[in-house]
Structure 1
Amino acid sequence: MKCIVCESTNVEVAFILKNGPRYAQKLLNTQDEKGGGRFDVTLYKCKDCGMVQIDPAGLEHDEYFEDYLMSRSCTELYVQYDNELADTLQAKYGIQGKKIVEIGCGDGFFGELLIQRGAQVSAIEPSATACKLAEQRGVRCYNTFLDTGIDGQVTERFDGFVTKQVMDLVKEPNTFLASLGKILKPGAWGLIDVPSWTKTLLDKRYYDVLPDRVGYYTAKTLVEVMERNNFHVTEVFHGAEGEYVGAYVVYEGQKDGLLKDFKHEFEAFNKEFGRLMDSYRAAGKKVAAWGAGAKGVTIFSFSGMDSSSIAYVVDKDNFKWNKFLPGSRLPVVAPDTVREKPVDAMIITGVMFYKEITRQLVRDYGFSGDIILLSPMPHVLPQEELKRLLAS
């Protein structure tokens, strides 16, 4: 047997729970229905990556999922948790108008939350019953399995994806994620969560060991399987009072796809930055910068800037005043220089602090020129956005 995450054969028995049910998340229609008996549940642990799992061989998941349905709107905790996730997706990625695919949508409750926030939601769902309910909520459903049924059926490419409490039931998560990548645009973002094995261990909840749950993920093993399949993890979270461990991710599009694009983006950045500075110089306008931190040092050095393009660099740290940036040799000055030696445009090098720096420039130092931001490409902050920023 192999580890379902790292595919190592260095797997050992962790423990055995006797007399478990055949299914834990599917109820029987009759007492003598197939799957109604008891059997022992053996958990294995990978000694290489730490993944905990059952042996997926013999699980009848195809039959199981075709008749599976779970509603997430029956409890206040689920409703609150899902609304929080939907709000976070909106805040992080601006999902209005974006095409999102949910893998394993159930009755479509979460998909409907995304639709209410302006997203276009499709789903891949093996249960025909679930598909009918989800479609009533406005979710476009493909009644198939992700890893075996999307070829020829799903031709569109999505901006983002969601899969909630699904991958723990998947026998081959690497195949699952590879199939998911086929229907995503490069750079697509995603949300994934699974039941937390850490929560189970800490609370000593043996009853969380389900015979139809293949994988028992921690934050570490969830990150491991995502990164192995070209999904960069940008944030890990624990939700619903710790019941679930989840991650926000970005899909590379191919192995090392982001790294391969990095050189081209670097060259494009420098070209655009140079063009922008040339336009100010040609118009006889002066430019300065705010921020003598590491980002400012590298940006101006890599882009070939010097005092012919940038008059000075402002920083609030008095230990940096009257010194010079390595590479570009630009002088570092105190904030009062903004008043004493006015310029027509100010570059903000501290990408994560641009809002507060912009407010300080305008409110505290009376700056009225252009604000130049550097992410994702050098550009002048539009006046409409500047007004909203100052009003907030």
Structure 2
Amino acid sequence: MKMIKKIFATGLALSLALSALPSSASALKNGYEFKLGMGAKNGGIELGRLDSSTLVLYGYKDGSRDNISKDVTYTVEDESVAVLRECLGDCMVVERVGPGKTEIKANVGASSPSFIVTVPEMEAEIYPSDLTLRPNVKEEFYLIGSYPYSSLEEEVTGQATWTSSNPSVAAVEMKNNRPVITGKKEGKATVKAKWGNHTYETTVMVTGTPYTGPVKVNTSRDVIDNLHTEEFYAQAEDKNIKEETKKEVEKEESKANADKKAEVKDKPTDAKKEVVAPKELKKKEEELKELIASNKALADQISQNEKTKKELEQKVDQKESDYEQTIEEQIQKEKEKNEKYQSTLKAQEEEIGVLKKALQAFNDMIESILSWIKG
């Protein structure tokens, strides 16, 4: 009787041990499953900092798994958000098109698997920002868009509607699908760019003496890459004019001084006070003063542009830092998932060892019972 109770207790312990064993996520016996690449989030894909991502479709039958990514057709609900194409390997590529959400479905029957692709809206900035202009100076503006956590930029200048709050101070004119701002008179104006559902603003301050040099507008992409080197051509022109005028003034002054000395020498002492510079010399001096003032205004404007350039570089560095941090966070999450899996696997192995020992004890007991019955 004691032996039968012992057998029952051992069997009950084995049953409890089996029921306590945690169930692990096993592969599907039959069905389909998507494996999503970079940008995977909450069972879907988010394409903001990424232009594209990959996906693999697996088919399960009787426990075996096959890559059937290129063996089926797909339906993309809204191709204005994302499109699907084949990659070089055994996978498909999801490419970003525009902001919004769309569903991508594998056409494999009633149980067709699907997932959602999300593309966030772009953020934009006007360049240059908070600009200072002289009257008659023309400046081209740009609207640069970027996705959150992305250092990549896209020019969307021509997609926006540009206006000025005070056209009599700073007028806006579209040339080659880009806005050209012209300083009209001293004052302050707000330049606005309406793009989609958003409006972006920057301040234009017009001050200083009117610019009279050659009128040019820099329309190259270097304005964005190097940020604004506005009126370098004007600075060079003014520098040449200044040097030539200075030489003429020095020449006139030398001649006037020689004439003055000769005239003073021939006149009484009281007549020295009546000697004055020639009218032409005065005119040249006034022109030189105006050029010096103009050059100072240019120097102030260049300083402002350098400041704006540094601000842009800092923003780019910040975006790159945010992107790297996001990647590191994803890697850390994958490490934590792997560690958790390893821990679960180790616990299962230990429980299997316990079960093996219990089963061995159960077998030993059965043998003992058989021996006892035979005896």
Question: TM-score, normalized by length of structure 2?
Answer: 0.25
Question: TM-score, normalized by length of structure 1?
Answer: 0.24
Q: With a CA cutoff of 8 Å and minimum separation of 6, indicate the structure with the bigger relative contact order.
A: 2
| Structure having the larger proportion of residues in strand | 2
| Structure having the larger proportion of residues in helix | 2
